């Protein structure tokens, strides 16, 4: 048990971003935090513009991925308040993960050399968008099992009776393939924040993988029903 805890601790230290933040803002309602690493504002009165750059980290512990962050900021020029504006930053941060990136924008005929982030809001992805990788992998898992079976099925020219008999005799293998393997993958996905199966979310994979296997089993039965009639 102590060895397991030690391994997790090492993985956590390796995976966590070793960065220094100059500002940190929590979302009002969601478990999402916007960290500011660095920011630069260069007003140019000749070109009549202000170049803005911000390096940031978004920590997303929400159940859905997010695709956009809108910062509400107060702008200042020579320590004098100018105006409150919104800065829209397109991002792609999956659920229970984080992203380190930077954003640049040029503000024409608007000058500031300092900002204060008041709050921020996010645009969430849908369920299918947030878990598209997990869903796709679960479907691929079922399809892979199906293709492996079909290779043997066609090679040995199996009948419907033989298929049913094999599944009945090796019921334990069916349970392992349908439930145990997805359960193991789901368990490993909980280490996703430590860079193990980072794109898979456990319970969703565990729910969809057996359904995928069942779907391709139905396809197999339809294939044999058609073949038996020929």
Q: What is the pLDDT of residues 124-156, one digit of tens each?
A: 999 999 888 889 999 999 999 999 999 988 888
Confidence at 2, pLDDT banded by 50, 70, 90 = very low
Q: Is 25 in the same domain as 74?
A: yes
Same domain membership, residue 9 and residue 121:
yes
Say yes or no: 36 and 80 in one domain: yes
Please report the pLDDT score of residue 91 as a whole number. Answer: 93
The percent of residues above 70 in pLDDT, for the chain, comes to 88
- How many domains does the chain fold into? 2
- Pick the residue with more confidence: 181 or 160? 181
Q: Which of 109, 125, 141 is the last residue of a domain?
A: 125
Question: What residues are paired with 86 via a beta bridge?
Answer: 72
Which pLDDT belongs to residue 19? 61
Q: Are 72 and 120 in contact (CB under 8 A)?
A: yes
Cα distance between residue 116 and residue 73, in whole Å: 5
Domain that holds residue 120: 2-125
- Report how far residue 65's alpha carbon sits from residue 135's, in angstroms, rounded to the nearest whole number: 14
Stated pTM of the model: 0.71
Residue 6 sits in the same domain as residue 105: yes
Q: What's the pLDDT score for residue 160? A: 83
Task: Tell me: do 90 and 157 sit in the same domain.
Answer: no
Q: Which residue has the higher pLDDT, 11 or 109?
A: 109
């Amino acid at each position: 048990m102590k060895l397991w805890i030690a391994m997790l601790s090492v993985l956590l230290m390796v995976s966590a971003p070793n960065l220094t933040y100059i500002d940190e803002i929590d979302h009002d309602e969601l478990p999402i935090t916007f960290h500011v690493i660095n920011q630069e504002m260069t007003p140019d009165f000749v070109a009549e513009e202000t170049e803005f750059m911000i390096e940031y980290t978004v920590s997303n512990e929400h159940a859905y991925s997010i695709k956009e962050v809108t910062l509400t900021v107060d702008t200042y020029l020579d320590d004098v308040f100018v105006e409150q504006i919104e800065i829209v930053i397109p991002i792609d941060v999956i659920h229970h993960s984080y992203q380190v990136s930077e954003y640049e924008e040029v503000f024409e005929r608007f000058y500031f050399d300092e900002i204060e982030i008041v709050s921020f809001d996010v645009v969430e992805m849908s369920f299918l968008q947030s878990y598209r990788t997990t869903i796709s992998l679960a479907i691929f898992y079922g399809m892979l099992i199906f293709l492996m079976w079909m290779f043997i099925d066609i090679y040995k020219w199996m009948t419907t009776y033989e298929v049913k008999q094999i599944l009945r005799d090796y019921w334990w293998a069916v349970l392992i393939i349908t439930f145990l393997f997805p359960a193991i993958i789901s368990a490993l996905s909980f280490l996703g924040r430590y860079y193990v199966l980072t794109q898979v979310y456990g319970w969703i994979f565990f729910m969809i993988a057996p359904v995928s296997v069942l779907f391709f089993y139905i396809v197999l039965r339809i294939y044999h029903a058609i073949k038996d009639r020929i």
